[in-house]
Amino acid sequence: MKMRIVIAALFFTSAVAAQTLQDGRKLLLSQRYRSAKETMEKVVAAAPTNPEAIYWLAQVNFEAKNPAAAKDVLRKGMEGANGSNPLLLVAMGQAELAEKKVNDAKQRFETAISLSKSKDANILIAIGKANLEDGGDYAYGIEKLKLATTLKNFNDPMAFVYMGDLYRKLMDGGGAVSSYENALLKDPKSAVAKYKIGKVYLTQGNEQKDIFLGKLNGAIADDPTFAPALYELYVYYFFRDVVKATDFFNKYKTNADAGPALDYEEASLQFAAGDFKNAIAKSDALLTAQGEKADARLYRLKAYSYDKLNDSAKALSFLETFFQKATADQLIPENYYVAAVNAAKMKSDPAKVDDYFMKAINADTAINNKLDYAKKAADFFKKMANTTKSAMWLTKVLQLNPKTSKVDLYNAGFENFKAGEFRKADSIFTVYKTNFPAEVYGHYWSFRSLSVVDSTMEQGLAIPDCEKFISIAEADKAKNKSTLITAYGYLAGYTANIKKDLALASSYLDKIIEIDPNNQDAIKNRDILQKALAAPPKK
């Protein structure tokens, strides 16, 4: 009877430990790192030699961006019999990836595979997850995850979630979504899979809002406590609907760990409500109370609030403090754009404005956003009457845009022409006339650009484009009157002075007079040529 009681007690303890481990993993998926760590530490304390518990405590530290703490957990947990445990070998390889020891990590992974004879899906899944670390071999991770899915009795949807994450690392959105959808085939109520699909579509801009909002709301419907989806919806509505944003924030707050990050979000709601002075006051209070532990984003919140209050000096100052203190995941491209705008308002050194616009472009992955930043930079330098810089940024628009429009080509070409970059203007208008050969603009501005390059006309560089322009423009002489006068005049000068063909030159002047009968310059020069033609040849 005592034996039965002991066995029952052991079974009960094991079941509680397993449940607690699952609780910890759920907290980790919800990005509640502090709660997950506390839970996993209790599991490890109850079962200090349990490899799975040690592994997941290490994972909490990895995902909380503390690989050194993860390695300490593993070093202690691998003492004794666990030293060759395949799961812990994989986790130690993950720690080595975080230290940029790629070859050592790969050796750990292969040893773990060998020890498990390539038949343990959990080991292969752990290798896939480990390679999500910066510097990991993303393709190798995908390969091992795919192998795991072929093993008998495989049934873990997280393998497909990690696979999707690896595809995202490879900038393969299609592969990522397909993998997350495979996770949903295994578990149709996987909140994390729906959330991650939503995140992929979220990066593609607001035109995909029906999809990403549907997926994020679907994640919450499956798990109302899933904090990452609640947070994304709060952020989405932050500038769109303060009532909805506040509602989602309150739900997020209930299901998130307390701390400086949460305090920052609560203070930022004052900004969303348009109470910029109160947003600054709350930020100051938190910075004073929390000191170095305060969330660096409070400096950004102050900067944005001062931007709304039209105090560019303070806005730029606090943004620059934010750039110094922020972690990489706290920086977004728009931060650099706001810095550029405020630097511009202060009439700062154009190089500083230039630099912030460039940082915004480099930090963004959406092509439409990159183009928007480049065009705004061009507009700023136009207003500053810095034609060289505005030409440079409009040329950048062409470099960024895989589908070059005629408007972008014209703007860049014309701005380069104004900036005195005639060769570059010609090259841009050459693309224009290649893409739109039946239109006048490419030929006309190539002719104008080359006429400056070949200022003596001796090389005749501008003649082919000038003649082609005329052949197209003459179809509507009224519409193209002024540009035709310029082109006829140029050909008159070229044929008279370079070709010495006075009759042909006179005919071009006649063409000007035909569309502009009161053009005194054309009449005067035509008469001079006619007299020269009528005069007897000199002996």
> What letter does residue 139 receive in the DSSP assignment?
H
Give the list of residues 6+ apart from residue 331 with CB closer than 8 angstroms, or none: 323, 363
| Angle CA 210–212–217, to nearest 5 | 95
> pTM score > 0.75 for this model?
no
Helix runs in 346-386, H state only: 350-363, 367-383
| Enclosing H/E stretch for 212 | helix 209-222
Helix runs in 240-311, H state only: 242-254, 260-272, 276-290, 297-308
Q: Which pLDDT tens digits describe the chain residue by residue (539 residues)?
A: 454 544 444 444 455 456 689 999 999 999 999 999 999 999 999 999 999 999 999 999 999 999 999 999 999 999 998 999 999 999 999 999 999 999 999 999 999 999 999 999 999 999 999 999 998 999 999 999 999 999 998 999 999 999 999 999 999 999 999 999 999 999 999 999 999 999 999 988 888 999 999 999 999 999 999 999 999 999 999 989 999 999 999 999 999 999 999 999 999 999 999 999 999 999 999 999 999 999 999 999 999 999 999 999 999 999 999 999 999 889 999 999 999 999 988 876 788 889 999 999 999 888 888 999 999 999 988 988 899 999 999 999 999 987 888 999 999 999 999 999 999 999 999 999 999 999 999 999 999 999 999 999 999 999 999 999 999 999 999 999 999 999 999 999 999 999 999 999 999 999 999 999 999 999 999 999 999 888 876 65
Distance between CA 303 and CA 499 in Å, rounded?
A: 66
Least Cα distance to 353 among 304, 392, 302, 297 occurs for 392
One DSSP character per residue, 445-460 reads HHHHHHHHHTTTSTT-
